[in-house]
Amino acid sequence: MPVFLVTDVLLWLLVAAAGIYFLYCRRHAHLAAPWRRVLQSRAALASLVVLGAFAAAGLLDSLHFRPQLAGSRLYSSEVLSVLDVALSHLRTNREKTYSAPFATRLYAKEQIETPEGKSIRDYPRLAYGGRDLESESDRPADIALRAAAGLVAALVLSFLLFRVVGGAARRSPDIPWSAAGWTLSLVLAIALPLYVLSFEYHVLGTDKVGQDVLYQALKSVRTALVIGTLATVTMLPFGIAFGIIAGYFRGWVDDVIQYVYTTLNSIPGVLLIAAAVLMMQVYIDGHAESFPTVAQRADFRLLMLCLILGVTSWTGLTRLLRGEALKLSTLDFVQAAHAFAVSDARILARHILPNVAHIVIISLVMDFSGLVLAEAVLSYVGVGVDPATTSFGTMINAARLEMGRDPVVWWSLAAALAFMVLLVLAANLFADAVRDGFDPRVRIGAAPA
């Protein structure tokens, strides 16, 4: 039975909107030109591929359903996603507690009964990690073999990929398709061996309750994407409307909007968000009947967190757009529209908004990574996502205790950081390229030399 979580629907709507925007751009040369400039950068194309890999994981994780219980007509109360099914071995292969990456034994000593009936204190074998090994000394050879199998698969796929890339390169030679091809090959060369290995080993170890860290990290991607995109989208209407209205109408309207955002900016952001999240938690606790499953409750909290982050972070965009609208409203084409008695709403929609679109796009992409990081901080402080939601923040929060342990458990933190840094770095590199591509100094409106 499919389950439509609110954030799922919103995320897919966003994908649909992006698709429509893409088609719209294709038909309008002046809209497509800056994007083409963005894609002409190798860094942009490479980071786009990485972002695409993250997005694929996140979107697969956004198709939820409740599986039918075996042998009955009832549905499980557990909500699963397509990604959960693809990684079901990771989800179900739970150990008892911590184990290091590629380990065959637990990270803590226990009393074990030997076959001879003696009781000794040693590191017990894992239930799943390396379970098919005849002897533990075969482990390096087994790892090498499985990794090689994954690499061969990656090579075959890359070979097919480069045939596609070659075709694309012939059709549009100005875009460095080979950069995309190499990045995707690299992603495959890392992902496929890991996938093959993950059937036999916990490649990034397990956490305190024995859950696979790789699985957690992959599940966190969706949370980060939801926060990064939905919070940005929430912010947009406030940022755009207040910004261009303040800049265009000036006078008391401008004064009021400026007063609001200056006040909002002076309140410490974390405090404001913490207060809003705690109030929301009270509401959730008081209306338990509205949330039949844990997943729905956690999802509601995630959605609310996006809204709260969005509502408190529009000031930067407003400030930028106000300045730009101030400048635009004195330009001749706006004056000409006034001379035709064109209404203010029409001037805002036709003359001001399209001419600030590049700023909106640039700040959209740049704010994304900021919001992903903000989620990590908030979850670490404890006012972020629901504890049942896996996110980079909750992973790091849990790792806080592990870092104090002796011997130290480093892999949870390392995995969370590596995934998050990769995501944010790719987003930042892409944002850089977008800013260069949409830079007004190279806008198509410039005079031909």
Partner 1 sequence: MSLAVDELRTVLDTPRGTVRAVDGVSFELRDGECFALVGESGCGKSMTALSLVRLLPEAGRIVGGAVALDGLDLLGLPEAAMRAVRGRRVAMIFQEPASALNPVLTVGRQITEVFERHTSIRGAEARARALELLKSVGIPEPERRFDEYSFQLSGGQKQRVMIAAALAVEPEVLIADEPTTALDVTIQAQILDLLAGLQAKRRMTLLLITHDLGIVARMADRVAVMYAGEIVELAAKADFFRAPQHPYSQKLFAALPTPQRRSGGLAVIPGQVPPLSQAFAGCRFAERCDRVYARCRVEAPALREPAPHHFARCHLREAGAAGPRAEPSVETGAGAPEATQAAVLLEVKDLKVYFPIRRGLLRRTVGHVKAVDGVSFALREGRTLALVGESGCGKTTTGKALLRLIEPTAGSVQHAGVELTGLPRAAMRAQRAALQIIFQDPYGSLNPRLRVSEILLEGMRSLRVLDDDAARLRRLAELLQEVGLPAEALARYPHEFSGGQRQRLAIARALAVAPQLIVCDEPTSALDVSVQAQILNLLRTLQERRGLAYLFITHNIAVVEYLAHEVAVMYRGKIVEHGGVDEVLRRPKHPYTRELLAAVPAID
Residues that bind partner 1 (CB under 8 A): 29-30, 331-333, 335-343, 346, 350-351, 354-355, 357, 443-449
Query: SS3 for 81?
Result: strand
Residue 44 and residue 434: Cα distance in Å, rounded? 8
> Of 363, 354, 376, which is closest to residue 28 (Cα–Cα)?
354
Residues whose CB falls within 8 Å of the CB of residue 232, separated by 6 or more in sequence, listed in order: 310, 364, 367, 368, 371
Q: What angle do CA 94, 99, 103 make, to 5 degrees?
A: 105
Q: Which two tokens stand for residue 419?
A: 């995934």
- Comparison of 85 and 331: residue with beta carbon closer to partner 1: 331
Alpha helices in 382-410 (DSSP H): 392-403
- Comparison of 161 and 337: residue with beta carbon closer to partner 1: 337
Distance of closest approach, residue 44 Cβ to partner 1, in angstroms:
16
Could you give phi then psi for residue 314, rounded to 5 degrees? -85, -10
Distance of closest approach, residue 31 Cβ to partner 1, in angstroms:
9
Please count the other Cβ atoms lying within 10 Å of the Cβ belonging to residue 72.
8
Residue 205 and residue 106: Cα distance in Å, rounded? 10
Distance of closest approach, residue 328 Cβ to partner 1, in angstroms:
10
Distance of closest approach, residue 100 Cβ to partner 1, in angstroms:
53
Handedness of CA 153, 155, 156, 158 (dihedral sign): positive
Distance of closest approach, residue 34 Cβ to partner 1, in angstroms:
12
Q: Which two tokens stand for residue 31?
A: 């809209």
- Comparison of 6 and 353: residue with beta carbon closer to partner 1: 353
- Comparison of 92 and 263: residue with beta carbon closer to partner 1: 263
Distance of closest approach, residue 251 Cβ to partner 1, in angstroms:
11
- Comparison of 288 and 447: residue with beta carbon closer to partner 1: 447
Rg (CA), the chain: 26
Could you give phi then psi for residue 382, rounded to 5 degrees? 105, 5
Distance of closest approach, residue 332 Cβ to partner 1, in angstroms:
4
Per the CB < 8 A criterion, the answer to whether 90 and 129 are in contact is no
Residue 139 and residue 416: Cα distance in Å, rounded? 26
124: left (phi over 0), alpha (psi -120 to 50) or beta: beta
Query: SS3 for 99?
Result: strand
> Of 2, 1, 5, which is closest to residue 298 (Cα–Cα)?
5
Element (H, E) at 110: strand 110-113
- Comparison of 315 and 329: residue with beta carbon closer to partner 1: 329
Distance of closest approach, residue 21 Cβ to partner 1, in angstroms:
15
Residue 197 and residue 204: Cα distance in Å, rounded? 11
Distance of closest approach, residue 442 Cβ to partner 1, in angstroms:
9
Residues whose CB falls within 8 Å of the CB of residue 25, separated by 6 or more in sequence, listed in order: 31, 32, 35
Distance of closest approach, residue 53 Cβ to partner 1, in angstroms:
31
- Comparison of 283 and 333: residue with beta carbon closer to partner 1: 333
- Comparison of 29 and 418: residue with beta carbon closer to partner 1: 29
- Comparison of 74 and 252: residue with beta carbon closer to partner 1: 252
Q: Specify which residues 125 forms β-bridges with.
A: 105
- Comparison of 355 and 369: residue with beta carbon closer to partner 1: 355
Distance of closest approach, residue 444 Cβ to partner 1, in angstroms:
5
- Tell me the DSSP string of 115-135: TTS-EEEEPPBPSSTTTT-SS
Task: Name the maximum alpha-carbon separation found in the chain.
Answer: 99
Q: Which residue has the tokens 């790719």?
A: 426
- Comparison of 172 and 335: residue with beta carbon closer to partner 1: 335
Distance of closest approach, residue 357 Cβ to partner 1, in angstroms:
8
- Comparison of 282 and 447: residue with beta carbon closer to partner 1: 447
